[in-house]
Amino acid sequence: MDTKHVIKELNDLVEKNHDAVDGFQNAAEKVKDHDLKNFLMEHVHQRNQFNSELRQEITSLGGTPKETKEGSASLHQTWMDIKSALSSNKEEAVLEECIRGDKNALKEYQDVLQETEVPDNVKTTVRKQMEKIETSLQELVRLEERYD
């Protein structure tokens, strides 16, 4: 097993979750609906928890977890700012971006699960997180339809 490769894959998930934390935080700041704001903040906490779990897995494999994010989050944030500024329905625009982010996250989680080198205990953690992202995505789609 190439643990360096597995650690890199897990660190990529950490980075994706950093992006999600920033995205959900930014989204919560942009919406006016109190319930939606709370819903988005719950996702901030959830993704921080995901990162805590992933960091533990990385450490147990002898790796060093990423603590900072790299460039992609700021690009997504800029796009979200522009889109919500131009939109007459900020809630819908913000939710569309959250949906897009969760779809991208699911793809990265699926990629990790398809890796044959990932130990079963790590796959279990990744699979549980992926299932929660799938549930989140379904909730986001239902909410977005409300604001359509």
Query: pLDDT for 75-94, tens place per residue?
Result: 455 445 545 544 556 788 88
Contacts of 143 (CB under 8 A, 6+ apart): 36, 39, 95
Distance (Å, rounded) from C-alpha 54 to C-alpha 34?
30
Q: Are 42 and 97 in contact (CB under 8 A)?
A: no
Q: Are 11 and 61 in contact (CB under 8 A)?
A: no
- Cβ-count burial 4-38 (b if 16+ within 10 Å, e if not): eebbebbbebbbbbbbbbbbbbbbbebbeeeebbe
Query: pLDDT for 3-39, tens place per residue?
Result: 999 999 999 999 999 988 988 998 898 888 999 999 9
User: Both tokens of residue 7?
Assistant: 């650690």
Query: pLDDT for 48-64, tens place per residue?
Result: 999 999 999 999 999 99
Considering the chain, what percentage of its residues have pLDDT values greater than 70? Answer: 84
Smallest Cα–Cα separation from 40: which of 72, 84, 71, 85?
A: 84
> Which amino acid type is present at position 95?
L
Q: Are 56 and 114 in contact (CB under 8 A)?
A: no
